[in-house]
């Protein structure tokens, strides 16, 4: 079972090998592929009623005798492959992140992480992927991303998502199999409501380092005399908010 994200907001356009083959004139395919039997052999191929990229033939075991592949060199594989589940965990109050991402400062990354990180940044329209685990009754605090849309898929658990708008908050419940979407610059939060941890796979529409601003960071980053004016509270009252942990 694969969970796939594609870097397009338009209708996805895909051309499979069999579709390309059957769209090619028989004589052209014969001259390009040069099979034994020529064009007569090409004519023995029949287009199936179902899409074979999705529906496997019922007699697949009879058709395929060997489906092994030779493993490519690691330095080549690591440009396209990253072991997210086995990667370093980044805890926060209430949960933990694991990242497949680009980082401007590669200090401390191992060889695999460096190659994958640099590969992401070399290509246009790539994705930053992550898993987010929020412990039971935990909170992923309000935040927004400066440079990416965010899309997520709920693997386990249940919870609530919120989108904070100027006129109020749009709340909705989420559970296994649900997809959520937060446009770039939209402040949002996630919280777990079940006894089981809330686990999501997240995709961010950037191959650059993800830029995020969290509520505790921008609130505590605002001068207390400014906050006093905004909220009509004594300046000293804002010392009750703890400083953001780095």
Phi-psi region of 49 (alpha: psi -120 to 50; beta: other; left: phi over 0): alpha
Q: Which pLDDT band, with edges at 50, 70 and 90, does 60 fall under?
A: confident
Please return the burial class of 119, using the count of CB atoms within 10 Å of its CB with bins 0-12, 13-18 and 19+.
middle
Average pLDDT over residues 44-61: 83
What does residue 104 show for φ and ψ, rounded to 5 degrees?
Answer: -60, -45
pLDDT the model gives residue 245: 59
**Region 59-210: CATH code:** 2.60.120.10
pLDDT the model gives residue 246: 54
Segment 127-183, tens digit of pLDDT? 999 999 999 999 999 999 999 999 999 999 999 999 999 888 999 999 999 999 999
Which H or E run contains 156?
Answer: strand 150-156
% of residues, the chain, pLDDT over 90: 83
CA distance 218 to 223: 10
Question: In the predicted model, is pLDDT for residue 53 greater than 80?
Answer: no
- Single pTM value for the model: 0.88
Domain ranges of the chain: 13-52, 59-210, 215-245
Segment 63-104, tens digit of pLDDT? 999 889 899 999 999 999 999 999 999 999 999 999 999 999
Q: Of 178, 183, 124, give the one whose Cα is nearest residue 154.
A: 178
CA distance 149 to 186: 9
| Average pLDDT value for the chain | 93
């Amino acid at each position: 079972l694969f969970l796939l994200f594609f870097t397009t907001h338009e209708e996805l356009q895909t051309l499979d090998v069999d579709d390309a083959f059957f769209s090619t004139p028989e004589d052209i395919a014969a001259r390009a592929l040069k099979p034994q039997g020529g064009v007569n052999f090409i004519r023995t191929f029949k287009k199936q009623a179902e899409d074979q990229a999705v529906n496997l033939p019922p007699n697949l075991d009879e058709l395929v005798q060997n489906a092994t592949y030779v493993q490519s060199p690691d330095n080549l594989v690591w440009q396209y492959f990253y072991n997210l589940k086995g990667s370093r965990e980044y805890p926060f109050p209430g949960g933990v992140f694991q990242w497949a991402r680009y980082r401007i400062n590669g200090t401390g990354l191992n060889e695999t992480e460096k190659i994958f990180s640099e590969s992401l940044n070399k290509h246009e329209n790539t994705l930053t992927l992550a898993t987010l685990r929020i412990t039971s009754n935990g909170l992923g605090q309000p935040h927004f991303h400066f440079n990416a849309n965010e899309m997520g898929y709920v693997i386990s658990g249940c919870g609530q998502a919120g989108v904070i708008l100027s006129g109020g908050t749009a709340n909705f419940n989420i559970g296994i199999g649900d997809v959520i979407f937060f446009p770039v610059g939209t402040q949002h939060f996630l919280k777990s409501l079940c006894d089981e941890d809330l686990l999501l796979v997240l995709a961010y529409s950037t191959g650059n380092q993800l830029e995020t601003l969290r509520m505790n960071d921008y609130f505590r980053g605002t001068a207390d005399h400014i906050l006093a004016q905004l909220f009509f509270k004594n300046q000293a009252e804002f010392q009750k908010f703890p400083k953001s942990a780095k």
